[in-house]
């Protein structure tokens, strides 16, 4: 079996000077933003309109319910059984490019579904959406690994923040354009409108693939060993102790909460289009009402979560979310429903943010991959179960009208959300923040120990712009020195033709991190 050093030499593609290396990285990051923009066009112009397309194909309520959840479950299952294989993929970019191009082609068969005779067109739609989701399931971890190699650690927040803004804006515009396109066609020609959307989605993904193919791929030297038998034993151990561990209780809470949500969630589109008879443009606007407020919610709950912890955010949002379905049953007015969805976006932003933060707070670098796969598997399984239960209830409730059936399911969803929050939230422990007092005074100074960011000096009750700027500059300077130090060491060793000494590299990194922490503590005490 090849050693790590032999694999590293074997996979070495080219010798680059520091200037050439950084130039390739900068170009790749720009290509990644362009890729994200066109990928979000594909998502924005299709994701909100897949249920309306299935309604047009006269899909049953059960198919409508599982349309957005069953493909996700298949993707989560694929990631669960192959998660460790992604770590040792030495040609990540090739796999990503091939699957992204295949994904673009999979939108084109949807144009011909109305003429399909062998099966009901809605089943064929579900089949192709599963294939698209499987492509995404394989691409996602490979792309994440590639981006972690490309983006410097101390620039990740600013870079992904910029990229996410581009994605949000383009997806927002794409969804509005999709609604306008569908609004231009009469009932008889609606299929032509959806065909235009799918063609735009296919070409957007092709352009996205071109940008992906231009990105630089650094050498992947991760040679982690994996064993399916060992992974299975770890998973069985997780299930048997699921109620005893903080992460297990968190997974149960999110799974049951999403089960309660998805009893009704897939059928809001049916309610708007079939019961309230909203136009496609009105449907798109209500769907997008939460976008702006979610950005505001992310900022507000993000700051609050940093100081008060993720559990407090989960508590607030977990008890506000059950109000949303209750508000829906009291009005049919488009403008009021728009405001309700704006409130929904604000609250769900805090819930989703604290959910992801709590996941990382419960995890270490050694078990993060397992935790993410367990979370995805449980949470998507309960999404599917919730949507199936909702579809069966709407199909078999004893009321004679679709409106009453849907409203009953919405009420049941709200009650179950509240019960889940009451039962599970008190069992969660705060995992995000530990406060170490450094000084006594009118304003309390402390060091926040956060899983992702490490030791961070902060001040409660006071904000001094100059002091904060000095602390930020010193923190960035330390990150920059650490990055340059290890980059120069790697380049020197590579140019000499020697392989990396992994144990020494690890020891040096730990020693440098300790010195950085000591420096930060001293700087806080002086200030």
State how far the Cα of 467 lies from the Cα of 150, in Å rounded to an integer.
32
CA angle 337, 185, 62 (to 5 degrees): 55
CA distance 430 to 309: 6
pLDDT tens-place values along the chain, 527 residues long:
444 444 444 444 456 677 777 788 888 888 888 998 999 999 989 988 998 999 889 888 888 888 888 888 888 888 777 666 555 555 778 888 999 999 999 999 998 888 877 788 989 999 999 999 999 888 877 787 778 778 776 666 567 767 877 888 898 899 899 989 988 886 668 889 999 999 999 999 999 999 999 988 876 655 455 566 777 777 788 888 888 888 889 899 999 999 999 999 889 988 998 899 998 889 888 988 887 788 788 778 877 877 777 788 888 999 999 999 999 999 999 999 999 999 998 999 888 888 877 777 776 666 666 777 788 888 889 998 999 999 899 888 888 888 899 999 999 999 999 999 999 988 888 765 444 444 443 333 333 333 333 333 333 333 344 444 444 454 444 444 444 444 444 444 444 444 444 445 445 555 555 555 555 555 545 54
| Domains of the chain, each with CATH number or no CATH | 24-215 (1.20.1250.20), 242-432 (1.20.1250.20), 435-526 (no CATH)
Residues with Cβ within 8 Å of 191's Cβ and at least 6 positions away in sequence, in order, are 56, 114
Query: Which strands form 435-439's sheet, in the order they lie side by side?
Result: 435-439, 445-450, 454-459
Residue 151 is given by DSSP the state S
**Nearest Cα residue to 408 out of 390, 425, 420, 383:** 390
CA distances for 200 relative to 25, 109, 167, 203, angstroms: 30, 13, 16, 5
Measured at the CA of 499, the angle between CA 496 and CA 501, to 5 degrees, comes to 120
Cα-flanking dihedrals φ and ψ of residue 108, to 5°?
A: -70, -40
Model-level pTM?
0.69
Q: What angle do CA 172, 177, 183 make, to 5 degrees?
A: 130
Token digits of residue 383: 């999404």
| Whole-angstrom distance, CA of residue 475 vs CA of residue 477 | 5
**Token pair 């009750």: residue:** 461
64 contacts 54 by C-beta, under 8 angstroms: yes
CB 224 within 8 A of CB 212: no
Query: Which run of H or of E encompasses 447?
Result: strand 445-450
Q: Which helix (H) or strand (E) holds 459?
A: strand 454-459
What dihedral do alpha carbons 516, 521, 526, 527 form, nearest 10°?
100
Residue 362, CA distances (Å) to 144, 162, 430 in order:
20, 27, 9
């Amino acid at each position: 079996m090849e050693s790590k050093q032999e694999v590293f030499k074997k996979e070495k593609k080219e010798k680059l000077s520091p200037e050439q290396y950084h130039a390739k990285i900068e170009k790749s990051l720009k290509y990644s933003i362009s890729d994200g923009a066109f990928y979000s066009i594909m998502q924005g112009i299709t994701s909100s309109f897949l249920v309306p397309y299935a309604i047009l194909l006269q899909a049953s309520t059960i198919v409508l319910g599982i349309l957005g959840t069953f493909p996700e479950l298949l993707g989560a299952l694929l990631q669960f059984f192959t998660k460790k294989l992604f770590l040792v993929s030495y040609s990540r970019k090739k796999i990503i490019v091939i699957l992204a191009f295949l994904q673009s082609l999979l939108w084109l068969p949807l144009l011909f579904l109305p003429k399909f005779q062998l099966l009901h067109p809605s089943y064929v739609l579900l089949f192709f959406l599963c294939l698209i989701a499987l492509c995404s399931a394989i691409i996602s971890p490979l792309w994440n690994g590639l981006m972690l190699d490309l983006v410097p650690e101390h620039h990740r927040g600013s870079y992904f923040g910029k990229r996410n803004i581009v994605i949000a804006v383009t997806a927002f515009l794409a969804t509005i354009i999709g609604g306008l396109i569908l609004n231009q066609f009469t009932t008889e020609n609606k299929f032509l409108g959806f065909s235009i959307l799918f063609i735009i989605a296919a070409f957007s993904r092709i352009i996205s693939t071109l940008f992906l193919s231009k990105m630089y791929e650094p050498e992947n030297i991760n040679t982690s060993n994996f064993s399916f038998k060992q992974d299975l034993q770890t998973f069985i151990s997780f299930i048997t102790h699921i109620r005893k561990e903080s992460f297990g209780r968190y997974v149960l809470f999110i799974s049951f909460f999403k089960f309660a949500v998805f009893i009704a969630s897939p059928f809001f589109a049916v309610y708007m289009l079939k019961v309230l008879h909203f136009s496609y443009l009105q449907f798109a606007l209500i769907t997008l009402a939460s976008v702006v407020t979610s950005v505001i919610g992310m900022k507000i709950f993000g700051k609050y979560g940093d100081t008060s912890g993720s559990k407090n955010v989960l508590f607030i949002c977990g008890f506000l979310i059950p109000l949303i379905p209750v508000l829906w049953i009291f009005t049919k007015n488009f403008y009021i429903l728009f405001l309700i969805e704006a409130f929904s976006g604000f609250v769900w932003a805090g819930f989703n943010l604290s959910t992801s933060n709590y996941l990382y707070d419960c995890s270490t670098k050694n078990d993060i991959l397992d935790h993410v796969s367990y979370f995805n598997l449980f949470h998507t399984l309960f999404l599917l179960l919730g949507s199936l239960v909702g579809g069966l209830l709407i199909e078999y409730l004893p009321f004679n009208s679709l409106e009453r059936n849907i409203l009953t399911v919405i009420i049941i969803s709200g009650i179950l959300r509240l019960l889940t929050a009451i039962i599970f939230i008190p069992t969660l422990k705060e995992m995000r923040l530990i406060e170490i007092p450094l000084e006594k005074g009118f304003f309390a100074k402390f060091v926040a120990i956060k899983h992702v960011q490490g030791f961070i000096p902060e001040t409660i009750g006071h904000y001094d712009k100059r002091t904060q700027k000095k602390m930020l500059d010193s923190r960035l300077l330390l990150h920059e020195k650490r990055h340059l130090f290890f980059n120069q060491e790697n380049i020197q060793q590579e140019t000499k033709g020697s392989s990396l000494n992994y144990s020494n590299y690890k020891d040096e990194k730990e020693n440098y991190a300790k010195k950085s922490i000591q420096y930060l503590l001293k700087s806080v005490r002086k200030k």
